[in-house]
Amino acid sequence: MTYEQTLLIAKAIVLAGQGIGAGLALIAGIGPGIGEGYAVGKAIETIGRQPEAKSSAQQTMFVGCAVAESTGIYGLLVGIILLFVNPFLGRLE
């Protein structure tokens, strides 16, 4: 097997790994979606039971949703980097 063939196979393995890694990183968006939905539901229950606590419940809910959403954004960022920047291909040559 020649050096060019070995390099081609190595590039194919790296690209496959990057695609799989990007897919797994994008799965991270599921957790924040579930968590935010749960948090909003509980905030609505709280407001329904105690309408005077509306501002406190809304403020806490928005902060919690923002923190949860940052996790999904980090996963999206890692997926985009793996798909388009290809940080590992430069190490092969």
Sign of CA dihedral 52, 54, 59, 64: positive
Tens of pLDDT, residues 2-53: 988 998 898 899 889 989 999 998 888 888 889 888 989 999 999 999 999 8
Write down the domain spans for the chain.
Answer: 28-86
Say how far apart CA 23 and CA 78 lie, in whole Å: 10
**What pLDDT sits at residue 20?**
93
Average pLDDT over residues 54-82: 89
**CATH class (in words) of the domain with range 28-86:** mainly alpha
Which residue do the tokens 């797994």 mark? 24
Kindly report the pTM of this predicted structure. 0.71
Contacts of 54 (CB under 8 A, 6+ apart): 47
Kindly tell me if the per-residue pLDDT of 90 is higher than 80: no
